[in-house]
Amino acid sequence: MMRMIFTLAFAFLMTNLSAQDFGDHKSSTLTSKAWTELGKNNSDMAITYANKCIELYMKEAEKMQKSLKDFTAQEDTPKYWALNDVGTCLYIKAQALLKKGKKKEALATFKQLTEKVKYAQCWDPNGWFWKPSEAAQEKMVEMELD
């Protein structure tokens, strides 16, 4: 019986460990994984990856945020990699929380994004940069209708 419990617990642990593969732990990798999971509607995994990015890079992101007075020019965005990725991950996390029906937590996450990493930018495959904090602000107002 004990052996069976141990085997099951081990199998469960292995499943979860292999499910969350942080790769090289770079902010860009984690952000990309978070986006992919959000796209697949795997909200829990999206939050896991987003949280990892936020945990590892928030301090650096805040340092970068402090150095700016406005959104940086397009050509300079790569210099603010931590700011951009943490801002994007906060947005992804909030969206995932909304999908799980956790509106209060989503609102708090959007707020954190607009207050702590306001100048983050994110590349849209359609060919421009968008601003997670502005998108967050829109979402916060949209949520008034819910």
Partner 1 sequence: MRKFFLIASFLFCVSLLIHAEEAKGHKVSFEKNSDGFWRVNVNGKLIPVRGAGGVLAPGMLETFAKEGGNFTRTWGIESLEQKVTGGARYIDKAKELGVNVMAGIWIGHERHGFNYSNEAQVKKQREIVRAAVRKWKHHTGIAVWGLGNEMEGPQAVAGNPKVWQELEVLAKIIKEEDPNRPVMTVIAGSRAEKIKSLLKYCPTIDALGVNAYGAASGAGKDLVKAGWKKPFAITEFGVKGFWEASKTPWGAPYEPTSTEKAKSYYATHKLVTQINNGKEQCLGTFAFLWGWKQEKTSTWFGMFLKSKEKLPQVDALVKAWTGEWPANRAPKIEAVKADFSGKAVAANKKLIASVKATDPEGKPLKYDWVIVEESKAHSVGGDKEYEPPSFPALTLINNDPECVIMSPAKAGQYRLFLTIRDGDGNAATANIPFLVK
* Beta-bridge partners for 100: none
∠ CA 14-44-87 to the nearest 5 degrees? 120
| Cα 89 to Cα 7, 72, 78, distances in angstroms | 35, 19, 16
Residue 66, both tokens: 């402090």
Nearer to partner 1, 15 or 101 (CB): 101
Q: What is the DSSP letter of 75?
A: G
Residue 73 touching partner 1 (CB under 8 A)? no
Cβ contact 137:94 at 8 Å: no
Residue 69 touching partner 1 (CB under 8 A)? no
Nearer to partner 1, 26 or 131 (CB): 131
What is the closest distance, in whole angstroms, from the C-beta atom of residue 60 to partner 1 in the complex? Answer: 26
Count of residues interacting with partner 1 (CB under 8 A): 10
**Residues of span 118-137 touching partner 1 by CB under 8 A:** 126, 131, 134, 137
What is the closest distance, in whole angstroms, from the C-beta atom of residue 28 to partner 1 in the complex? Answer: 20
Residue 145 touching partner 1 (CB under 8 A)? yes
What is the closest distance, in whole angstroms, from the C-beta atom of residue 73 to partner 1 in the complex? Answer: 12
Q: What gap in Å lies between CA 145 and CA 143, rounded to an integer?
A: 5
